[in-house]
DNA sequence: AATGAATGAGCCTTCATTCAT
DNA sequence: CATGAATGAAGGCTCATTCAT
């Protein structure tokens, strides 16, 4: 018997064993569909195609698994490249960003992450805070930075770029996001989204375009 | 003795027996703190100072109790008078409304209702929809109507007043509401709220003021 | 103030205050429909048109109420006059008795008493025993006595008249009663009952008619 | 080692894992002692020596467990071989059958199944019906078939063999079964049972023996 | 006497977690 | 490492019973 076994060592520590990915996939679906409390470990195990026991090999408990899902979600958000190249003109950039952002939020099951995290923010404040910082605040900051660059270049005239960034993002959601997360309306059509983002961009630039 | 007997009216049927109010108060706190799933009927009973059985004398089940809480919340929202007198000028009206609206959302425990309802909107879509319609949509409509009056009077120039109303409301939340519901920041200061609403009003009127 | 009030005294002791009858009527229906465990005091109160508290004014507890029902049932059985006049000839008497007995058992809701009592005989043996003695055994004894009279008159030749009485009663139920109590068949038709009783009478007399 | 591994078969799926048998045994006792409503899952768990949760690993709910008990009972009845070889003479066959049948009904706890099922037949008609068909009706049919064979061979003269079969079975119970199920008498002695069956056989053959 | 609001014990069931294999 | 059987602590809900009015 020679060096056999080396490749089996510490497999659990690896962030990406296939079982782990498998579990995360199943858990993601179940958590997003049913919420933290509504999701049961049994359901997750079934959705992941593993045994309940295996869940606990990879994750300490239900909360740890949930937080891993959010981690994933955060990574996914991070990978959605918002093109904030300072060289691009503001109108196009904002429009493109608005599109991408709104699609992210309103994709089927897209409100779910926000909804799900919000739901437990009161009981698990750290989780809420962490998610906000890693996902929403980060996006605000990137946009804010982009805006600052254009302020510097004299293109835009903005006092509080963080506020402005947040304002633009809120404008993009106007009339669309809340009905969607409250299940009071189906996901918005492409056309409607375009109209809303158009309006947002116009209003935003109307206010902040340097004269 | 003249008015004798009035106090013998059977109170269970009344919307407002004191026990009922007592239960609603306890349930409100527990539901808002822990969410629908996190709240247990036992905890609620304890918080309300009644026995578990009594809960079921006044409410058919946990859901019914929860929905009664939301009803209450909706009534509370309805009672917050937003002064939409068409005679008032837009700037003042929007500023005042923004203040009231933001205070409503960011009062301690104020994000909780929204958060809590959002949380179960996936599993209980009717509840989500109902809440959205009775609380959020209703406010949008009132503001929208006000705006339409000023469009008619030539004061404002707005194409889509519903969208505009929603835009203003979103602008008011910019940089404040999300950190607050995600527990990533304490309730905003009065001053910061004033600033944000000011900025929102300016941007809004800049876009929609008739020339 | 004269003698007022006398008629209100000890009303509870009277076996027949109208409230008491009212309660018994409601309780009878509910107990027979749902069985001892299935019946709830609330349901009984509703069926009787009185408040739950009133139930406890007239009966110590659920068991006492149930036993009162059985008492009633026993009285009812006792009132069904089986014509055991020794002067009547055996064939007619048996046939008539068989008819009456089978109707008693198979009347809609008629299996219910037997079923209901049987159901709790294990947990409340006294109740079972008492019911058997007061209702079933009593009928056996009456028939048995009738048979003895005819044995004495040389009409019938029976060794064990108690056994014979029981045999006839069992024969009357053949193919009809069990399917009925197990809900495996609807209440038997008049004609089928007549046939079965005819067959029973013939077999019985064939065996016990004196030669 | 040759046959290794056989013991690793997953047993939950098997109809006969030892835990499953253990639960059925405990449940059987508790259900028969207390009836369906009187039996609590906690009591059953204790009687079976397993945790309450385990009950639900093997049976979907209380009803399913109960029906499994009845299934068992039906199987047990099915395994009691009534020797209905058409070649055997009627007197012996009936006598032997009567003995076996009566022992089945009057064994300690033997009335319990019938009693217990009867008890819920009103609220769960399917259960009652099923039990009747699988246990009682099946026995009637076997006996009926035997009788038909002897009618064919000219041995017996019977018009309605189903009725006749039922009649014989009822005759066997005469004076014994009802007092027993109502707890009004202890299980009958062997001698008394023999006498009653003797009498039943004589009466039956007296009526149906071909002349 | 009659009420019905209130109680709290107890029931069925679910589920996160553990552990022997 | 993977399994899934087993657990026991809750949870939602019902109901017999009590008691102030």
Give the nearest partner residue to B167 out of A115, A116, A174, using CB atoms. A174
DSSP C7: G
**A120 band by pLDDT with thresholds 50, 70 and 90:** confident
- Kindly list the structural domains of chain A, giving each domain's residue range(s) and its CATH number in brackets, ordered by start: 15-68 (1.10.10.60), 80-208 (1.10.357.10)
- Give the whole-angstrom CA distance, residue C165 versus residue C108: 25
| B8 is near strand E: CB distance < 7 Å | no
For residue C64, which nucleotide's C1' is closest to its Cα? F16
pLDDT at C14: 55
Helix/strand number for chain D, H first, E second: 11, 0
pLDDT digits (tens, 9 = 90+) for C86-135: 999 999 999 999 999 999 888 876 667 888 898 888 888 899 999 999 99
Q: Are B58 and B12 in contact (CB under 8 A)?
A: yes
Asked whether residue B22's C-beta has any atom of DNA/RNA strand E within 7 A, the reply is no
Are the CB atoms for B209 and B193 separated by under 8 Å?
no
pLDDT > 70? residue C11 = no
**H helices, E strands: number in chain B:** 11, 0
Total Cβ atoms within 10 A of residue B60:
10
Structure tokens at A67: 């937080």
With an 8 Å Cβ cutoff, are A184 and B118 in contact? no
List of D residues 161-180 with CB within 7 A of strand E: none
Report the chain B residue with the minimal C-alpha distance to residue A116: B119
- CA B104, distance to chain mean position in Å, is 7
φ, ψ (nearest 5 deg) of residue B156: -120, 160
Tokens of B91: 């700037």
CB atoms inside a 10 Å sphere around CB C49? 12
Which parts of chain B have pLDDT scores under 70? 1-16, 110
- Catalogue the E-assigned strands of A41-195: none
Calculate helix-pair angle for C161-173, C190-208, nearest 10 degrees.
150
What are the structure tokens assigned to C92, written together? 């007619």
Residue B14: per-residue pLDDT: 54
pLDDT band at C6 (very low <50, low <70, confident <90, very high): very low
Angstrom distance, B53 CA to E8 C1': 8
Where on strand E do bases come within 7 A of a protein Cβ?
1-21
Tokens of D29: 């006792």
Burial class (CB in 10 A: 0-12, 13-18, 19+), B67: middle
Put simply, the answer to whether A167 touches B203 (Cβ < 8 Å) is yes
Alpha carbon distance C97, B54 (integer Å) = 54
Task: Give chains near D: 3+ CB pairs under 8 A.
Answer: C
C62 touches strand F (CB under 7 A): yes
Interatomic distance D51 CA / F8 C1' (Å): 8
DSSP output for D75-109: HHHHHS-----TTS-HHHHHHHHHHHHHHHHHSTT
What is the pLDDT at residue B84?
A: 92
Using an 8 Å Cβ cutoff, are D56 and D68 in contact? no
User: What gap in Å lies between CA C91 and CA C88, rounded to an integer?
Assistant: 9
Q: Hey, which bits of chain D come out as E strands?
A: none
Rounded to a whole number, what is the distance in Å from the CA of D4 to chain C's nearest CA?
A: 48
Ranges A86-90, A119-123, A164-168, C82-86: which has the least confidence = A119-123
Mean pLDDT of A188-198: 96
Determine the pLDDT at residue A15.
60
């Amino acid at each position: 018997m020679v060096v056999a076994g080396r490749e089996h060592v510490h497999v659990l520590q690896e962030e990406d064993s296939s079982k782990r990915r498998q579990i995360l996939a199943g858990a993601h679906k179940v958590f997003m569909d049913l919420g933290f409390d509504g999701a049961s470990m049994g359901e997750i195990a079934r959705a992941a195609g593993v045994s309940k026991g295996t869940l606990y090999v990879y994750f300490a408990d239900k909360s740890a698994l949930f937080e891993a899902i959010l981690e994933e979600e955060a990574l996914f958000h991070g990978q959605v490249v918002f093109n904030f190249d300072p060289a691009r003109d503001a109108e196009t950039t904002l429009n493109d960003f608005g599109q991408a952002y709104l699609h992210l939020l309103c994709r089927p099951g897209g409100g779910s992450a926000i909804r799900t995290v919000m739901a437990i923010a009161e009981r698990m404040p750290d989780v809420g805070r962490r998610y906000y910082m890693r996902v929403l605040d980060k996006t605000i900051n990137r946009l804010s930075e982009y805006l600052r660059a254009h302020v510097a270049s004299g293109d835009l005239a903005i006092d509080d770029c963080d506020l402005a960034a947040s304002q633009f993002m809120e404008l993009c959601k106007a009339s669309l996001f809340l009905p969607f997360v409250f299940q009071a309306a189906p996901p918005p059509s492409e056309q409607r989204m375009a109209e809303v983002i158009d309006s947002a961009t116009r209003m935003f630039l109307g206010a902040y375009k340097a004269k």
